[in-house]
A = this chain, B = another copy of it.
Amino acid sequence: MCAPSSYARNVEIFGEGEPADYIYKIVSGCVRAFHTFDNGRRQLVALYLAGDIFGLDARDLHTISTEATAPSMIRVIKRKALMVRGGDMAMTKHLMDLTALELRRARSHNLLLLKGAQDRVVGFLREIAQSGPSQSEIDLPMTRRDIADYLGLTIETVSRTLTRLETGEAISLPNPWRVVLRDPTALN
């Protein structure tokens, strides 16, 4: 459709309240989707990785903001180019499936938010592992704050939980942005 654009770390892709004229597909990198509260706190509602499509939540105005959490390549696609007059039914149906998928993801995220801190972190790791190329070597293209805001925890709890998993021989942390799953079954 359109050549991918590149976004630097912490650069906004779209903001809450802006018209939703485009949808986005991540070629590489990572994007956070979040709400900002009055008190300055923010809550991530989703973390998108390579291959993910986002921007489908809105009817006409975006209800969330999005930023790159790491240098990213993102394909920007005009909505109107897809919903052509006369209607390509197959494409419309595909868009609806994608929205329904997004809904299921949001709900599975809900389930995660009701568990204890350890289960949340483990669930997060599984999530990221699935999206990545390797099942055992994960890299985290986001900060602890992003993870914490995504899981509804504090950065301290996330950090503590990761080190506890490491001392429990389940994972190892060569550096803060790299996780190696020692024993895939140990994440239970």
Q: Closest CB of chain B to A127's CB: distance in Å?
A: 15
Q: Is A71 part of the contact surface with B, judged by Cβ < 8 Å?
A: no
In the assembled complex, the Cα of A64 lies from the Cα of B97 at a distance in Å of 16
Chain B residues with Cβ below 8 Å from A102 are 103
Q: Is A92 part of the contact surface with B, judged by Cβ < 8 Å?
A: yes
**Count of chain A residues with a beta carbon within 8 Å of a chain B beta carbon:** 31
A43 touches B96 (CB 8 A): no
Knowing A97-B59, A103-B103 are in contact, say whether A110-B109 is a contact too (CB < 8 A).
yes
B45 touches A101 (CB 8 A): no
B111 touches A43 (CB 8 A): yes
Partner of A57, one of B92, B104, B109: B104
Q: Is A35 part of the contact surface with B, judged by Cβ < 8 Å?
A: yes
- What is A's interface to B at a CB cutoff of 8 Å? 35, 43, 45, 56-59, 63-64, 83, 87, 89, 92-93, 95-97, 99-104, 106-107, 109-111, 113-114, 152
Q: Mind listing 7 A-B residue pairs with CB under 8 Å?
A: A45-B110, A59-B100, A63-B107, A87-B87, A92-B92, A95-B96, A106-B107
